[in-house]
Amino acid sequence: MKLDNINDYIIDFSLAINIGKSKLIEYGIFPIKEFGIYILVAIINEQIDKSKIEELFNKPIKCIKISKKVFEFEINYLEFKYEICNLAKQSILLSDENDINISSIFLFSDSLLEFAIFVKASDIHIETTKDSVVIRIRIDGILVQFFKLCYELYYILSSSIKLFTSLDISQKRLPQNGRFSKNILDLDYDFRVSILPTISGESIVIRILDNQKAFIGLEDIGFSDDVYAKISKNISYTQGMILITGPTGSGKTTTLYSILNRLNHNQMKIITLEDPIEYNIDGIQQVNINSDIGLDYEIVLKNILRQDPDILMIGEIRDSKTLQVAIQASLTGHLVIATLHTNDAIKTINRLLDLKAEPFLIASTLRLIVSQRLIRVLCENCKIQVEVDGLRVYKAVGCAKCNLSGYSDRTIITESLEIDEKISQMINAKTDIANILQYASYKTINNNSYQKVLDGIISLEEYYRHEI
């Protein structure tokens, strides 16, 4: 019997609640839904005595097979899921598309946000299919489906999210963006909302901005000693350009904020250009880029130098115009810190050349390139030691403490390239990056990541997943 996907079904959790966790675990069963004369039950062992289970439900059953891991996942969150699905049912019962019962849908959305924060999620994805609403939650970079609910909930949920994000409720055909704040479990959180119309309704993504991240110290990011030392040294200069690079979701913004926290004291004027601003920091002039009204990077950068800043933070260098101004600013006595989408430190040089920067300008302004990724840390509670090709490493298992993923939280892997006199000359002479790399011979992101495997912090699988 091949494995079935429990995520395909809109589960009625009251069935499982009525039987009770201990019985479900004893038999290895998870009831899904009542279909007229029978109940659909997920089982982990095909050899199960069906008549016993039918006795338990007092009804005929039909079975689908799931893995032990999926079963444990459902059992682990049973009470939460039951409660949240109940609130969803209530909302559907009390509302319709044109007359929404605000208090019931707010109860539902608040519990959903609380739940997401409880499982340490970064984003909540609310998506529609032809006949359901699917809610997936991103934890440590991985999307996990937690709920599949009736389609009727979509209109109510979409409208209520638009309501507390001050968006246009009647607008369902164009993308909308907004944000809202909420106090959850005694902590203040900001939520950034993006709504995109799709063929079956809308895709709604809520990013959870944990304000604690805005105050993280450079020393707490998890840089290796050599990278940390290079960053500390280079941000103490009064001019030049420091680039933090990596793909989307590699923690670049958190690194930028940690640097700003280090530099933020009253002898410095710091101006940031962000699209959008993620966290507010007192003492720093943060400018939110808003292309809709013509407030784009170019226009802000043109005016920014008249503001007499010491330090400039550019959220992202996206095009040659932004890069030109960044270079201009660093040439004229400002420290510029920015992010750039590149895969590793050395290729950043090529990217700058692609953006039509003159080699001599790069050579004279660039001081340091830091490249980074986020990588999942093994759960301390359940990791086990195994031997792979004679090497003692740790393997992810999964337990209740880590949402059965085997991982808990993420850490950073990095590499950095400091532009010394020789590299500066090589850039100016348009030397091939392979030669620059050979000369620089720094510890690469892979070296850093592999060391974490040897230290038992990450798994080999995670190492390979991020190998460059």
Annotate 160-192 with three-state secondary structure.
HHHHHCCCCCCCCCCCEEEEEEEEECCEEEEEE
Structure tokens at 104: 């019931």
Among 167, 277, 287, 402, the residue binding Zn ion under the rule CB under 5 A is 402
Instruction: Return the residue of 291, 320, 350, 381 that touches Zn ion, per CB under 5 A.
Output: 381
Q: Is 119 in the site for Zn ion (CB under 5 A)?
A: no
Beta carbon of residue 400, minimum distance to Zn ion (angstroms, whole number) = 7
Site stretch for Zn ion (CB under 5 A), options 129-137, 309-317, 373-381, 428-436: 373-381
Does the protein bind Zn ion through residue 75 (CB under 5 A)? no
Min separation Cβ 411 and Zn ion, Å: 16
Q: What gap in Å lies between CA 336 and CA 354, rounded to an integer?
A: 20
Q: Which is nearer to Zn ion, 100 or 402 (CB)?
A: 402
Question: Which of these segments, 154-162, 266-274, 306-314, 400-408, binds Zn ion (CB under 5 A)?
Answer: 400-408
Nearest distance, CB of residue 399 and Zn ion, angstroms: 3
Q: Is 382 in the site for Zn ion (CB under 5 A)?
A: yes
Termini Cα distance of the chain: 39
Q: Which stretch binds Zn ion (CB under 5 A): 99-107, 360-368, 374-382, 418-426?
A: 374-382
Bond preceding residue 276 cis, omega within 30 of 0: yes
* 196 or 384: CB nearest Zn ion: 384
Please, are residues 170 and 195 in contact by the beta-carbon 8 Å criterion?
no
User: Which residue stretch of 52-60, 201-209, 219-227, 392-400 sits at the interface with Zn ion (rule: CB under 5 A)?
Assistant: 392-400
Closest approach of Cβ 284 to Zn ion, in Å?
Answer: 38
Indicate the residue among 187 and 384 with the shorter CB distance to Zn ion: 384
Q: Which of 163, 399, 436, 437 binds Zn ion (CB under 5 A)?
A: 399
Q: Which of 352, 351, 274, 278 has the alpha carbon at shortest distance from 313? A: 274
Q: Does 379 bind Zn ion (CB under 5 A)?
A: yes
Cβ closer to Zn ion: 353 or 397?
Answer: 397
Give bridge partners of residue 170 from the DSSP assignment.
none
299 vs 384, beta carbon nearer Zn ion: 384
Torsions phi, psi of 277, nearest 5?
Answer: -70, 130
Distance of CA 371 to the CA centre of its chain: 18
- Strands (DSSP E) contained in 300-402 are 311-314, 335-340, 366-378, 384-388, 391-395
In angstroms, rounded to a whole number, what is the distance separating the alpha carbons of residues 303 and 329? 11
Q: How far is the CB of 406 from Zn ion (least distance, A)?
A: 6
Q: Measured at CB, which residue is nearest to Zn ion?
A: 379
Residue closer to Zn ion, measured from CB, 59 or 120: 120
What Rg do the C-alpha atoms of the chain give, in angstroms?
A: 26
Among the listed ranges 54-62, 211-219, 375-383, 425-433, the one in contact with Zn ion (CB under 5 A) is 375-383
Q: What's the rounded Cα separation, in Å, for the pair 364 and 265?
A: 27
Least distance in angstroms from the C-beta of 120 to Zn ion: 13
Number of residues this chain uses to bind Zn ion (CB under 5 A): 6
Contact window for Zn ion (CB under 5 A) among 320-328, 381-389, 418-426, 459-467:
381-389
397 contacts: CB under 8 Å, gap ≥ 6 = 379, 382, 383, 384, 406
Provide the b/e sequence for 133-167 (b: ≥16 CB within 10 Å). Answer: bbbbbbbbbeebebbbbebbbbbbbbbbbbebbeb
> Which range of residues in 89-97, 228-236, 349-357, 391-399 is near Zn ion by CB under 5 A?
391-399
Residue 345 or 402 with smaller CB distance to Zn ion: 402
From the list 421, 266, 272, 432, the residue with the least C-alpha distance to 349 is: 432
The amino acid sitting at 229 is A
Is 271 among the residues that bind Zn ion (CB under 5 A)?
A: no
Nearer to Zn ion, 289 or 382 (CB): 382
For residues 212 and 210, give the distance between their C-alpha atoms in angstroms, rounded to a whole number: 5
Unique residue bearing structure tokens 């409660």? 83
Report the alpha-carbon distance of residue 57 to residue 53 in Å, rounded.
Answer: 6
Of the listed pieces 80-88, 129-137, 271-279, 378-386, which binds Zn ion according to CB under 5 A?
A: 378-386
Contact residues toward Zn ion (CB under 5 A) are 379, 381-382, 399, 401-402
